[in-house]
Amino acid sequence: MADPGRKQGSLLKELPVLLLVAVVLAVLVKTFLVQPFYIPSASMEQTLHGCTGCTADRILVTKPPYWFGDPQPGDVVVFEGPDTWPSEGQADEPGNWFARAALFVGRAVGTAPPSDRDFVKRVIAVGGQTVQCCDNQGRVTVDGSPLDEPYLYQDDQRAFGPVTLATGQLWVMGDHRGDSADSRDHGPVSVDDVIGKASLIIWPLGRAGWIGSPDIQATAEGPADPGTVVLLAAALLVPPGRRRR
């Protein structure tokens, strides 16, 4: 018959190892696959809630979508902001080791505010494109064509640009344009600073669901070449010839 005391002692010896394995697995998952993220501000309302007095959304940020490609216009991304970007309600780093450990665990499970260098915004334009605001209807344009932005909340229609992005740069803006400090204030961000794609709201349960990536540049490809239009019209107007046998 097994000695209960010996079994309990064995479990106590194994517990630190099990905890270490769990922490290592959590860090690997967070680093390479998926990371919970806490929305710290109202800059992405109403897509993502982070307003004062409301229950802040918790989201999952996925890493694999950008393993083989760059963020696209319409994607909501989490990125590490350059030093010139001020924080948006993120937590200050505590001084003592216990508080830092607790904050690390909270960030790992998405219950604590992110680092003061992490931001969440929507990609508006990518390298090689020219972005500015506004056209005669107050819309942001990319390469001269207006964007289709159904997610906008309290747009302030603040003028900027034109700005032509270099390769590897992103122009990012908050959906709540009137309460977002973004590329309009601090310039573009680097693709290399993107942590991942905001893919899923996981809390509160009443708001759980996928975060969409609308094709905001569906009308931003510019008009068709006039010569092409003329040729197509002529082809439609000329009756087909009689086939020779």
**Residues assigned a catalytic role:** 43, 121
Task: Count the neighbouring beta carbons within 10 Å of the beta carbon of residue 87.
Answer: 18
Pairwise CA distance, residues 15 & 148, whole Å: 54
- Exposed, middle or buried, 210 (CB in 10 Å: 0-12/13-18/19+)? exposed
In order, the DSSP letters of 34-50 are EEEEE--SSTTTTTS--
Residues 45, 46, 52, 55, CA torsion sign: negative
Residue count (the chain): 245
Helix segments in 42-125, DSSP class H: 97-109
Contacts of 236 (CB under 8 A, 6+ apart): none
Torsional class of 209: left (φ above 0), alpha (ψ -120 to 50), beta (otherwise): left
Residues 42, 48, 54, 56, CA torsion sign: negative
- Exposed, middle or buried, 91 (CB in 10 Å: 0-12/13-18/19+)? middle
Residues 172, 108, 212, 52, CA torsion sign: negative
